[in-house]
Structure 1
Amino acid sequence: MTKGKKITIWILAIVLAVIVGTVGTVYFYGNHLFNKLEKVEIDKEDIGITEEVQEKLSQYSNSIINIALFGVDAVDGDVGRSDSIMIATIDTVHKKLKLTSIMRDSYVAIDGHGNDKLNHAYAFGGPQLAIKTLNENFDLNIENFASVNFETLPKIIDELGGIELNIDADELEYINGYIAHLNNINGTSEPAIESTGIQHVSGTQALAFCRIRYTSGGDYKRTERHREVLTEIFKKIETMPVTSYPSLLSEILPMVNTSLGYSDILELGTEVLKLGDSNLQLERFPLDDYCEGKMISGIYYLTFDKEVTVEQLHNYIFEDKITW
Structure 2
Amino acid sequence: MLVGTDSRSAEPTTGTDAAPDVEPGSQRSDVLMVAQISPERTNASVVSIPRDAWVEIPGRGMNTINAAYALGGPSLLIRTVENLTDLRIDHFAVIDFAGFESMVDSVGGIDVRVAAATSNHGVDFHQSLNHLDGAQALAYVRQRYNLPRGDLDRAQRQQNALRALLSRAVSGGALSDPAGLYDLLDATSRTVGVDDTLSNGGLRSLAFELIDLRPSAVAFMSAPVRGLGREGVQSVVCLDDLRAAELWSALRNGTPADYAQRHPADSLGHPGVTNTGDSAFPIRRT
Structure-2-length-normalised TM-score: 0.75
User: How far 1:127 sits from its partner (Å)?
Assistant: 1.0
Relative to 1, partners in 2 of residues 1:94 and 1:307: Cα closer, same or farther, differing over 3 Å? farther
**Is 1:92–2:39 an aligned residue pair?**
yes
Counterpart Cα distance in 2 of 1:149 and 1:90 = 23
Q: 1:231 to 1:197 in 2, by over 3 A?
A: same
Q: 1:196 aligns with which of 107, 114, 127?
A: 127
| Structure 1 range deviating more: 70-79 or 262-271 | 262-271
Aligned to 1:252: 188
Closer/same/farther in 2, CA of residues 265 and 158 from structure 1, 3 Å limit:
closer
Structure that is richer in helix per residue:
1
Is residue 8 of structure 2 the alignment partner of residue 70 of structure 1? no
Q: Is the 8 A contact 2:51 2:66 kept in 1?
A: yes
The residue correspondences of 1:260-271 to structure 2 (distance < 5 A) are 260-262=197-199, 264-265=202-203, 268-271=206-209
Q: Structure 1, residues 166-200: CA drift from partner, whole Å, max 9, x if none? A: 2332xx3332xx1x3xxxxxxxxxxx436322121
> Of the candidates 231, 238, 262, which is equivalent to residue 303 of structure 1?
238
Report if aligned partners of 2:167, 2:215 keep a CA contact under 8 Å in 1: no
Query: Residue type of the partner of 1:97?
Result: A
Query: Tell me, which stretches of 5 or more residues in structure 1 are unaligned?
Result: 1-67, 181-191
Partner of 2:249: 314
Q: Report the AA paired with residue 283 of structure 1.
A: M
Q: TM-score, length-normalised on structure 1? A: 0.67
Larger radius of gyration: 1
Aligned residues: 238
Distance 1:276 1:167 in 2: 22
Partner of 1:282: 220
- Contact 1:73–1:151 (8 Å) recurs in 2: no
Name the aligned partner's letter for residue 261 of structure 1.
Answer: L
| Aligned equivalents of 1:296, 1:96: Cα separation in 2 | 38
Does structure 2 retain, via aligned residues, the 8 Å contact 1:101–1:284?
A: yes
The equivalent of 2:51 in structure 1 is 104
**Secondary structure of the equivalent of 1:84?**
strand
The Cα shift of 1:252 comes to 3.1
CA apart distance, 1:271: 4.2
Whole-Å separation in 2 of the counterparts to 1:112 and 1:312: 25
Q: Determine helix, strand or coil for the equivalent of 2:118.
A: helix
* Percentage identity across paired residues of the two chains: 26
Q: For the residues of structure 1 that align with 2:251 and 2:198, how far apart are their CA atoms?
A: 27
Taking the aligned partners of 1:283 and 1:204, their CA distance within structure 2 comes to 25
Task: Note if 1:148 corresponds to 2:83.
Answer: no
Cα deviation, 1:69-109, whole Å, max 9, x if unaligned, reads 10111246462111111011011369421111111111111
**What is the CA–CA distance in structure 2 between the aligned matches of 1:296 and 1:194, rounded to whole Å?**
34
Unaligned ranges ≥5, structure 2 = 10-21, 264-286
Superposed CA RMSD in Å reads 2.3
Q: Aligned pair 1:173/2:106, yes or no?
A: no
User: Are 1:220 and 2:152 counterparts?
Assistant: yes
Q: Confirm or deny: 8 A CA contact 2:228 2:238 kept in the other structure.
A: yes
Deviations 1:21-46 (A, max 9, x none): xxxxxxxxxxxxxxxxxxxxxxxxxx
Could you tell which deviates more after superposition, 115-124 or 298-307? 298-307
Residues 265 and 159 (structure 1), Cα distance of their counterparts in 2 relative to 1, 3 Å cut: closer
